[in-house]
Amino acid sequence: MKAEILAGHGDHLEAAAEWRAAQKLRPKDPVIARQLATAMYLSQDYSPALPMLQELARQEPRSAELRFFVGDSLLHLENAEGAVPELEAAVRLDPKLLPAHASLGLAYARTGKPAEAIPHLSAALAVDEDGSLHYQLARAYQQTGQADLAHATMQKYQDFRRRSDAEAKELEQTVKITAPEPPRP
C-alpha cells in the first residue's frame, strides 16, 4: 500500500524500494514484479529495470505498455537499434500510445532513418512538453529535403523555447529568495 501511495505522489524511486521489500515477502508474485519494474522504469533506473521488463514482456507479449517500457529503456541506454523492434511492437499493439510513437520516432532518427521517424514524431506532438519532439521533427524534415516543413516546425520549436524561457524567468522572479531583515535593537 505504501508503494502505491508513493507512486501516486510521483515518488517512483521510493515506491521501487517499497516494491523490493514486498518482493522479498512474495518473490513469485507477478503483480509485485510488474509494479517494481514499472517503478524502476519511471524513476529512470533503466539498467536494472530492463531485464525485469524484458522478462515481463516475454510473459505478456501483447502488452503494448511493457513493450514500450522495454524499447524506451533501450533508447535511454543508447541502444536505439535494439529499441526499434520493441517500439514498433508497442505502436502496432496500441496505435494510440503516443509516448511509444515519440520514442519510436526518436529511435528511427538516431538510427539514420528520418523518413521513418516523421510519422511517429508527428503523431506524438500532442505529448511534446519541452519542444524536443518539434526539434527532432524539424531535423527529420530537413534531412528528407522538406525545407518548408522543416522551417515551420522549427518556428514552433522556437515558440516553445520562448514560452518555456519566459515561464522559467517568471518563476524565478516569484521564487526569488531574499535574506531576512536583521532584527531591530
Q: In 3D, which of 57, 62, 88 has the Cα closest to residue 75? A: 88
Q: What is the mean pLDDT of residues 120-143?
A: 95
Q: What is the mean pLDDT of residues 126-151?
A: 95
| Terminal alpha carbon distance of the chain | 53
Query: Can you tell me the distance from the alpha carbon of 126 to that of 134, in angstroms, rounded to the nearest whole number?
Result: 10
Dig out the grid coordinates for 30 from the structure: 507477478
pLDDT band of 167, cuts 50, 70, 90: confident
Evaluate if residue 95 carries a pLDDT over 70: yes
Report helix angle 98-110 to 64-76, nearest 10: 40
Query: Can you tell me the distance from the alpha carbon of 101 to that of 183, in angstroms, rounded to the nearest whole number?
Result: 58
How much is the pLDDT for 5? 67
Query: If you ran DSSP here, which 8-state letter would residue 179 be given?
Result: P
Q: What is the mean pLDDT of residues 138-151?
A: 97
Of the options 3.40.190.10, 3.40.50.150, 1.25.40.10, 3.30.1370.100, the CATH number for the domain spanning 45-128? 1.25.40.10
Evaluate if residue 139 carries a pLDDT over 90: yes
Query: If you ran DSSP here, which 8-state letter would residue 125 be given?
Result: G
pLDDT band of 111, cuts 50, 70, 90: very high
Q: What is the mean pLDDT of residues 175-184?
A: 66
How much is the pLDDT for 76? 97
Exposure pattern of 24-60 as b/e (b: 16+ CB <10 Å)?
eeeeeeeebbbbbbbbbbbbebbeebbebbbebbeee
Statement: the pTM of the whole predicted model exceeds 0.85: no
- C-beta atoms surrounding 17 within 10 Å: 18
Can you give the residue ranges of every domain in the chain? 45-128
Report helix angle 46-59 to 30-42, nearest 10: 140
Dig out the grid coordinates for 138 from the structure: 524539424
Higher-pLDDT residue of 146, 39: 146
